[in-house]
Amino acid sequence: MILLIDNYDSFVFNLARYFERLGQSTQVVRNDAIDVAGVRALQPQAIVLSPGPCTPQEAGSTLEVIRSLKDEFPMLGVCLGHQAIAEAFGGRVVRADEPMHGRTSPVLHEQQGLMAGLPSPVTACRYHSLVVEAESMPAELVIDAQLEDGTVMALHHRTRPIFGVQFHPESVLTDVGYPILVNFLQAAGISIDGATPTIDSERRSVAAVSRVGAGMIVEGIVTTLNEDGSPNISPMGPVVDEALTRFRLRPFQTSTTFKNLKRTGEAVFHVVDDVELLAKAAVGEVTPAPDTVPAEAVDGGILTSACRWYALRVSTLDDSEARAEIETEVVDQGRLRDFFGFNRAKHAVVEAAILATRVGILPAEEIRREIQRLKVPVEKTGGPQEHRALAFLTSYIGHALGEKVLASEQAAVRGVTLHVSTPSRLHCGMLAFGEGAARQFGGLGIMIDRPRVKLRVSPGERLQTEGPLAERVTEFARLATTQADGAPRAKIEVLEAPPSHVGLGSGTQLAMAVAAGMAALEGLPYDDVVELSRRVGRGKRSSVGMHGFAGGGMILEGGKRGTRDFGPLLSRVALPEEWRFVLLLPREGAGLSGAAEVKAMNALPSVAVDVTAEMCRTLLIELLPAALEADFDTFADRLDYFGHLAGACFSSVQGGPYAEGIAAESVAILREFGGRGIAQSSWGPGVFCVCPDEHAAEDLSSRLPHHPAMESRELIVAKADNRGAVVRVDLN
């Protein structure tokens, strides 16, 4: 039996099917439903570690299984599984230069490991945004395949039957999937019964699902002109020939599309990657109408958001059946932009849109079951657009099935619970303020993964807030709502919240989290951080927290100019995963805020131009390059220097580069124990230092509590958050 550890990815079932076609029995188990003892108890012939939408550290028992069982069972890692093997043996997993989702690449190799006996290059399909860093490859592992730029695509262990491939052998776009799995089975000493399937047979079986007659179905959107000249927008899967010169449309005679085609004989077909538009078009609720421009060769409109378009003219029309057969010819075509591609979340939304059109045809229980299945890939791999689209379709289906949906009367997204989680913000200092500054404020900040703001937002008949900071949440919700009467209709629960006014930017993160949750609940975009900030009145001085909410990382923002609301994002750097931040926060007391902060800012002298120049030089020439190159020593040294420079600009108010009292004492404690890259965050009294890895952070945090002054301080170890806020949608 082949045990497949599922890292929450639907591709695991493709892998299982491939192995089953090779005569193997399989068992699929989720990564959080089995541990090392459970694997041993099953005694599989081999272990396959599946792809997944996270990092190896977040992949349940995967790393533990590799480290504990590497000498007991043959192993194959695919995509995330491949990365986990490298990390388990001491390699580094880093962000790829370019995310790849459903795209093929030529993979070069020297016919070793799983690539033995295969031509070079091979064509392989890739779905990943992380890669194994070639320079950090452990001595036990050998690189078997790479891209032209050196990106690692396959590896094996020098003495054990342990293999990894970054690409997907189970994809029909990979030419050599079956031979690679055969090589693995042979290396694992597992016999194969019968002939090996070919990729051609796999592609034929897949194509049989989507081919009709002599053509293939292509999903997209058709626009036709209504009698009043307005556009009719409808999703459709026409049958097309390989040359894309003839499209066979098959609308029902009851549809507006059919009536318009019969009347005008013309249409425009669009290739799109906007699944939210597809979802709304599927159920006839596209309001307001998307932007179009007139087509030249036919009477019709071209969607400006489309990737490609084809102007069609009817050649024959057969309406002898309820579903008409309309043959059309392409008379003009054009490209507006690159096709983004479809990841698993987008595919799931398309399937859900089809389900929405089958209400009343398919059994209700089957539709409910399918929606629950489609929810998983959207949760794991979807962005804001996919979450909104699936929430919209779920609401539509619920109402169509006559089910009670708990939501406010005018909420556009119903039947959902939203979970919003944000990182905390360390503010390392401002660049300029006062008279003579070309821009006001600006500065450097770092987003860290803990402590976090965590909210649960669900529909309600009125506003209810629970948990810590409930009063502030109430204030932010009233500012954020777009309800006509200004009355939020939601239940907002604060599950976690950092302490206020200690330098973690908790006010901005809480406000943005509430605004994002309210926007999503009311059917509005929740990834427009500028609009969210305006609604809740944040970013009046620093825009670091706003930009950090959007995407995490180390943030450099350029400050405000004139009457502009927010400072522009100049740089966002993803800090190395292994670096750690050790924070010292007061158990009692807080930094300046509110009216006291405004008074203090007004009392500060202007920052000298040469001081601003030196801070900018330090950031652009030293600190940012060190972060990009993972040069810890330079980063720590320059961060300490920058923090001191920036803090000195506030000396007249806070008594020195670091706030008098607990903040300055905390800095002294960190220096005494060898801390590096020390800085005060915002007004303090929280301070922090940076460590090169988890071991160094553990060593420092184990020694610090022995200092007598630590009784009044809380110690937190965090790592950089390179993602920003996360909004997860649960379908009720």
Between CA 299 and CA 312 the distance in angstroms is: 10
Give the Cβ contact number of residue 527 at 10 Å: 19
In angstroms and rounded to an integer, the radius of gyration of the C-alpha atoms of the chain is 29
Indicate the SS3 state at residue 712. Answer: helix
Instruction: Find the catalytic residue in 82, 168, 347, 387.
Output: 168
Between CA 571 and CA 105 the distance in angstroms is: 30
Is 109:126 a contact under the CB 8 Å cutoff? no
Is 296:330 a contact under the CB 8 Å cutoff? no
170 in catalytic set: yes
Is 264:299 a contact under the CB 8 Å cutoff? yes
Residue-wise burial string across 313-343, b where 16 or more C-beta atoms lie within 10 A, e elsewhere: ebeeeeeeeeebebebebeeeeeeeeeeebb
660 in catalytic set: no
Indicate the SS3 state at residue 660. Answer: coil
Cα→Cα distances 337→21, 281, 312, 341, 385, Å: 40, 21, 20, 12, 18
Between CA 573 and CA 551 the distance in angstroms is: 10
The DSSP call for residue 255 is S
Instruction: Find the catalytic residue in 87, 170, 276, 665.
Output: 170
- Taking the CA atoms of 498, 502, 504 and 506 in sequence, report the sign of the dihedral they define: positive
Phi, psi of 274 (to 5 degrees): -90, 95
Between CA 318 and CA 262 the distance in angstroms is: 10
Is 102:345 a contact under the CB 8 Å cutoff? no
Length of the chain as a residue count: 732
Is 330:360 a contact under the CB 8 Å cutoff? no
Enzyme catalytic residues: 79, 168, 170
